[in-house]
């Protein structure tokens, strides 16, 4: 039931150093063919991801792509059609953070976070759904939310918190709309995982101490292992009767 062999999975924000790479690595090691995308400015990190994934006996394609561009998003779907003739899984991982106080934040910065985290996820999901319906593929869409989609924090990051909460409800909305096509839409809410995006936690003993106090298991997540089960569940037939749900993989952060 957890077999994803020969499925084709597109992971956004999948360059080396972020959680997207580990999502791609998990699916590739389980036998899925991978389309890994990230911003054109991340070309070197995408090349590094490609080199590290190439040892698996699957096809790995990397493409520069901006999830806020409809043309870029459609180009990835067209490439999937040309190379594989199918696309079974989308992992909507691309996202950016924010550390500006809401009171001082320019509108352009607010809009930038919303465009990447929320609008980008919708654009990718929409394009992939159109393709799946056309090809009669009963596919899986996995949105990456966050513990901060369920609660905020004292650190200033209002647009990030807002978009991750919106991703959770977008997941419900798309699941309700697209169930009739046999497409499952779910989300994962990761807790604290050491990656490029969370580097400031590792660099601040006080911030790291605060995080460890919030995590019931008293350790950060391991990006190599702790998300694997959830990714495989939601990408495979094991989740055929699960849709509209967000699974928090957070060591117990959101339990209390």
- Plot region of 188 (φ>0 → left; ψ -120 to 50 → alpha; else → beta): beta
Q: Give CA–CA dist 80/85, Å, rounded.
A: 6
Measured distance CA(84)–CA(87) in Å, rounded: 8
Number of Cβ within a 10 Å radius of residue 2: 12
Q: Name the 3-class secondary structure at 109.
A: helix
Classify residue 254 by its DSSP letter.
G
Known active-site residue 160: yes
- The secondary element (H helix, E strand) that includes residue 124 is helix 120-135
Q: Looking at residue 247, what DSSP letter applies?
A: E
Residue pair 235/247 in contact (Cβ under 8 Å)? The answer is no
The DSSP element (H or E) to which 159 belongs, if any, is helix 158-178
* Catalytic one of 21, 148, 160, 161: 160
Indicate which residues carry an active-site annotation: 160
């Amino acid at each position: 039931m957890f077999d994803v062999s020969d499925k084709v999975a597109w992971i956004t924000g999948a360059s080396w150093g972020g959680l997207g790479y580990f999502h791609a690595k998990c699916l590739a090691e389980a036998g899925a063919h991978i389309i890994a995308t990230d911003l054109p400015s991340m070309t070197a990190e995408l090349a590094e991801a490609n080199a590290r994934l190439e040892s698996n006996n699957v096809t790995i394609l990397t493409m520069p792509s901006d999830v806020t561009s409809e043309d870029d998003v459609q180009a990835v779907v067209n490439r999937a059609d040309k190379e594989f003739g199918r696309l079974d899984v989308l992992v909507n991982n691309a996202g950016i953070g924010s550390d500006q106080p809401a009171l001082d934040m320019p509108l352009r910065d607010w809009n930038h976070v919303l465009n990447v985290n929320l609008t980008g996820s919708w654009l990718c999901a929409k394009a992939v759904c159109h393709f799946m319906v056309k090809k009669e593929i009963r596919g899986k869409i996995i949105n990456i939310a966050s513990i901060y989609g369920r609660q905020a924090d004292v650190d200033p990051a209002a647009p990030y918190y807002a978009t991750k909460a919106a991703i959770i409800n977008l997941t419900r909305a798309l699941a309700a709309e697209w169930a009739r096509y046999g497409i499952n839409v779910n989300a994962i809410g990761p807790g604290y995982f050491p990656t490029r995006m969370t580097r400031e936690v590792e660099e601040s003993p006080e911030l790291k101490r605060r995080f460890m106090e919030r995590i019931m298991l008293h350790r950060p997540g391991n990006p190599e292992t702790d998300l694997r089960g959830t990714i495989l569940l939601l990408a495979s037939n094991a989740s055929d009767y699960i849709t509209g749900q967000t699974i928090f993989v957070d060591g117990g952060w959101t339990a209390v």
